[in-house]
Amino acid sequence: MTSGAAVRVEPAGSPAYEVRIGPGIAAAFADEIAGLPGIQQGRLFAVIDTGIPPAWVDTVLDACAAEGFDVTRFTIDPSEKNKSIETFRAVLCAMADAGIERREPVLALGGGIVGDIAGFAAASYRRGVPVIQCPTTLLAAVDASVGGKTGVNLSLPDGSLLKNMAGAFHQPAAVLADVSALVSLDERTFRAGLAECVKHGMIAADWSDAGLLEWTRESMDRILARQPGVLVDLIARNVAVKARVVAADEREQSDTGGRALLNLGHTYAHAIETIDGLAPDGGPLLHGEAVALGLVAAAECSRSMGRLGASDVLVVRGVVEQCGLPSKISGLPDDATLLDRMMHDKKTSGGRLRLTLLRGLGRAELVSDPPAEAIAAGWSAIRA
Ligand code: GLY
């Protein structure tokens, strides 16, 4: 039987919590929920992603009911459009209708979208109730569920959609990464989650895991076969890197990097991920697919500034391709349009572009106003 793992997250300004990882961990943890700090037994409000198998949801929630929780269910169809103020309001209303009190928890069962909405509702309802995150995608397990970022998109009257523009930092009381939930993920979604693992590997030398990228490359066959034991190790090592970054800079306030280093590849990615027609199915890229391209672009931008060797860029491209993720794409707009889109990313500061770049494989830092030619070299590297 595959054993599990636990990683402790210790944010400076919030109570510490554990990320438990293993097959069946979400149901197995039910008897510990009432013992978590700030939680009392009573009602439990479950926010459920429609994309996850009902049988898995029933197993988890039946275990909670067996521990004496009175469970209310609320389902969300996860899409960027539904990650809205309207859905947030509907969750809050349902929580009020269920009579949820201040020490009664929200349980978020799903991918990053559901976790972000449920977390934001938990942060706001009665000025804050506990949330337990149960990520069911690889991306949510290694990234979105850990670190307390919650929120929804803002849709402006002119029709533009500002991603994650309204939200709060609200650290979970626990994270339960159940690797059995990952088995049923469709192949494209599973592979997209690997992009955040590659990203962690590309910065991990500065965060006490210099071997992470190499281990990911060597373990790729077993990862893609979704062997439970290797998934536990993959999630645990990635969460440990993220936990160290979050402990150093819980609210992304550091001027020298900290949590902003987790945006490696993301400024490039955000410039292309909402463009329709880039994916083979004629729709937009998944976030992880855009991040994979962004990682190659950021590596090449770093090389073009003399910060990274050409062989390291090849390593990055190689691991992205090993994951089955795109490292080149056709149909991108011209450089000027892409640069303009990068400037409008919410990570820009005072109208200046700050990019997370590499200063060697495994080491990232923030660079203000990188030269336009270096940024363009990044875009060239991913044009098919
Ligand atoms: N996903 C980046 C962060 O949590 O800061």
Q: Mind listing the pLDDT tens digit for each residue in 90-123?
A: 999 999 999 999 999 999 999 999 999 999 999 9
Q: What is the mean pLDDT of residues 296-319?
A: 98
Mean pLDDT of 281-304: 97
The finding on whether 307 has its CB within 6 A of some atom of ligand 1 is no
Task: Report the distance separating Cα 310 and Cα 362, nearest Å.
Answer: 15
pLDDT computed for residue 155 by the predictor = 93
Q: What is the per-residue pLDDT across 244-254, written as a single tens digit (0 to 9) for each?
A: 999 999 999 99
Q: For ligand 1, atom 5, name the residue with the nearest CA.
A: 259
Residue pair 150/169 in contact by the 8 Å Cβ criterion: yes
241 Cα: distance to centroid of ligand 1 (angstroms) = 12
256: exposed, middle or buried (C-beta count within 10 Å: 0-12, 13-18, 19+)?
Answer: exposed
pLDDT cut 90: percent of the chain above it: 94
Which residue has better confidence, 48 or 274?
48
Cα dihedral: 132, 105, 38, 249 (round 10): 40
Convert the pLDDT of each residue in 197-238 to its tens digit: 999 999 999 999 999 999 999 999 999 999 999 999 999 999
Paired tokens of 204: 């991990």
Asked whether residue 257 carries a pLDDT value surpassing 90, the answer given is: no
State in Å: Cα 149 to ligand 1 middle.
7
> Residue 259: CB within 6 Å of ligand 1?
yes
Question: Looking at ligand 1, which atom is closest to the CA of residue 252?
Answer: 5
Do 112 and 139 touch, CB atoms closer than 8 A? yes
pLDDT score, position 239: 98
Which pLDDT belongs to residue 293? 98
150: CA distance to ligand 1 center in Å? 10
Ligand 1: atom nearest CA of 246 is 5
Band of residue 349 on the pLDDT scale cut at 50, 70, 90: low
**pLDDT reported for residue 346:** 61
20 lines ligand 1 (CB under 6 A): no
Give the per-residue pLDDT at 344: 78
Does the beta carbon of 200 sit less than 6 angstroms from any atom of ligand 1? no
Asked if the model's pLDDT at residue 350 lies above 80, the reply is no
Report the pLDDT averaged over residues 301-310.
Answer: 98
Distance of CA 84 to the CA centre of its chain: 18
Average confidence score pLDDT of the chain: 96
Residues 18 and 31: their CA atoms lie apart, in Å, by: 15
Nearest-CA residue for atom 3 of ligand 1: 262
Cβ–ligand 1 distance for 149 under 6 Å, the answer yes
Using DSSP's 3-state secondary structure scheme, residue 296 falls into helix
Decide if 23 contacts 178 (C-beta within 8 A). yes
How confident is the model at residue 348, as a pLDDT? 61
Please report the domains of the chain, with CATH numbers, ordered by start residue. 5-185 (3.40.50.1970), 194-247+255-382 (1.20.1090.10)
Q: What pLDDT is attached to residue 226?
A: 98
Q: 244, 261, 263: which to mutate for ligand 1, most atoms within 8 A of CB?
A: 263
